[in-house]
Structure 1
Amino acid sequence: MKIVVIGGTGLIGSKLVQKLGEHGHEAVAASPNTGVNTLTGEGLAEVLAGASVVIDVSNSPSFEEKAVLEFFETSTRNLLAAEAAAGVGHHVALSVVGTERPPGNAYFRAKIAQEQLIEKSPIPFSLVHATQFFEFVRRIADEATDGDKVRMPHVLFQPMAGDDVAQAIGRVAVGAPLNGRVEVGGPEQFRMDEFFREALASWGDPREVVTDPHAQYFGQELLERSLVPDDGAPLGQIRYRDWPGRNDK
């Protein structure tokens, strides 16, 4: 079947296109790099012609509150309208575990707005809520840095490899629409401060990880289970210690 991947040249999208192609699907990468722009609508009608499924793994270039909300609302409205015109039968979107749990941040609120637009659309849909990616753990550490210290709360943390994220989305995309969501997470749970203490040591990073219950995670304090899936969620296979990119900079 023809499956269009919005954001198909990015981290998760490129993995999806490859995996779907390996399973015999016509997987088409759609992004501004390929002449498809969901903010302006450019190229949408052409790329969606004949598509059975659309997977949206695009992301906002800015996490500033107004900009990120405008990105997800505008791009999602344009995409859903184009899908309806093209007769697409399944809309799949990648979201984040914890978006609906208080307290929220600007990015989570923007993702909730995106999901609400999808849920109100007549197009059958599936939402995949994933935990944080291994590929972003260095950025998380940098965001939490205060001088020579990295401030982290002692809450649960269950990151997963981008390859496992793509695998989970692909399985959902080729199945029947859920008209709901599924959560996916990494194969191991950690305490966030302990995970980063070990990670920085393995990187040879001299920063000290300090346990701080009021540490901010992209503008919000975390509760015990803010970032982990509910019990029984499907889990990825790749452990952080076995992940090939663990020590990449």
Structure 2
Amino acid sequence: MRVAVAGGTGLIGRLIVEQARAAGHEVVILSRSHGVDLTTGAGLGDALRGTEVVIDVTNVDTLSRRVSVEFFERVTRTLADAGERAGVAHHVVLSIVGVDRVGFGYYQGKLRQEQLALAGRVPATVLRATQFFEFAGQSLARVPGPVAVVPRMSGQPVAAAEVAAELVRLAAGPARGLAPQMAGPEVLEMSAMARRVAKAHGPRKLVIGLPLPGATGRAMAGGGLLPTGPGPRGTTTFDQWLAKP
């Protein structure tokens, strides 16, 4: 099967590319560094020729609702239109558990991405997954200096490699619409995870856990990012992930 990975050079994208190739699939990476601009469509038609499945794990680094919505609307429409022209049979999208319950600006773009993909002419599957373990380390590196302020949020985080495996598995099957939510094996608090990452791997920082203001902060701290039903569960614990070099 020929699989195109939109955002294939990012954290989760690289894992998907690796696992899809290990499963015997032909993989094409959709990114600017590989000659494809997903915001304009430049190079996309040629890249999708003969492709059966697109896995979309594109991302934008923003807290702004406007920026997030504009980015995901543009990329999703561009992928959907080009996919339809190229005869793509399945459009798989990675989303986030809680985007429909937590009014975070970035999440509004992900929710719009889901809506557009599911309403498109190419049959789609949307997998909502919880935060990756890797997010704790990214929170430490986001701002330079000796102090890291990390949002107080309760979640059921999961190893990114296990999410990548589930996306590859879903891509090989029929479109499922909104798929069962994926999460990790245990409920954890993000600022506590960041402290443990800082101690085990660095950078050494004072980690301060602060709730986001208003309804968004209350939802994040109060379980709005937890899965609401059964679904695939990762087996790697945070302790096991943290112990890896």
Q: Taking structure 2 as the reference length, what is the TM-score of the superposition?
A: 0.86
Contact 1:240 1:246 in 2 (8 A): no
Q: Distance in 2 between matches of 1:206 and 1:61?
A: 22
Q: Does 1:13 align with 2:9?
A: no
Q: How far off its partner does 1:246 sit?
A: 6.5
Q: What is the SS of the residue equivalent to 1:3? A: strand
Task: Sort the Cα spacing of 1:143 and 1:25 in 2 relative to 1 into closer, same or farther, 3 A.
Answer: closer
Q: Distance in 2 between matches of 1:119 and 1:161?
A: 26
Contact 2:136 2:190 in 1 (8 A): no
Q: What is the SS of the residue equivalent to 1:80? A: helix
Hey, what does 2:230 align to over in structure 1? 232
Residues 34-43 or 196-205, more deviating: 196-205
How many residues end up aligned between the 2 structures? Answer: 241
Q: Distance in 1 between matches of 2:142 and 2:98?
A: 19
Q: What is the SS of the residue equivalent to 1:60? A: coil
Q: What is the SS of the residue equivalent to 1:221? A: helix
Q: How far off its partner does 1:47 sit?
A: 0.8
Hey, what does 1:110 align to over in structure 2? 109
Contact 2:6 2:58 in 1 (8 A): yes
Contact 1:36 1:43 in 2 (8 A): yes
Task: Sort the Cα spacing of 1:79 and 1:207 in 2 relative to 1 into closer, same or farther, 3 A.
Answer: same
Task: Sort the Cα spacing of 1:120 and 1:237 in 2 relative to 1 into closer, same or farther, 3 A.
Answer: same
Residue pairs, 1:163-182, within 5 angstroms: 163-182=161-180
Q: How far off its partner does 1:104 sit?
A: 0.9
Q: Does 1:221 align with 2:220?
A: no
Q: What is the SS of the residue equivalent to 1:183? A: coil
Q: What is the SS of the residue equivalent to 1:4? A: strand
Q: Does 1:130 align with 2:129?
A: yes
Q: Which amino acid aligns with 1:5?
A: V
Q: Distance in 1 between matches of 2:69 and 2:107?
A: 9
Q: Which amino acid aligns with 1:243?
A: W
Unaligned runs of 5+ in 2: none
Task: Sort the Cα spacing of 1:66 and 1:209 in 2 relative to 1 into closer, same or farther, 3 A.
Answer: closer
Contact 1:184 1:233 in 2 (8 A): yes
Q: Which amino acid aligns with 1:189?
A: V
Residues 91-100 or 114-123, more deviating: 114-123
Q: How far off its partner does 1:24 sit?
A: 0.9
Identify the structure with the greater helix proportion. 2
Residue identity (%): 35
Q: Which amino acid aligns with 1:235?
A: R
Q: What is the SS of the residue equivalent to 2:16? A: helix
Deviations 1:6-29 (A, max 9, x none): 111111111111111111111111
Hey, what does 1:89 align to over in structure 2? 89
Task: Sort the Cα spacing of 1:149 and 1:43 in 2 relative to 1 into closer, same or farther, 3 A.
Answer: closer
Q: Does 1:158 align with 2:131?
A: no
Contact 1:150 1:208 in 2 (8 A): yes
Q: How far off its partner does 1:136 sit?
A: 1.6
- What do you get for the CA RMSD once the two structures are aligned? 2.7
Q: What is the SS of the residue equivalent to 1:220? A: helix
Q: What is the SS of the residue equivalent to 2:103? A: coil
Q: What is the SS of the residue equivalent to 1:115? A: helix
Q: What is the SS of the residue equivalent to 2:83? A: helix
Task: Sort the Cα spacing of 1:107 and 1:194 in 2 relative to 1 into closer, same or farther, 3 A.
Answer: same
Contact 1:14 1:29 in 2 (8 A): no
Q: Distance in 1 between matches of 2:143 and 2:235?
A: 27
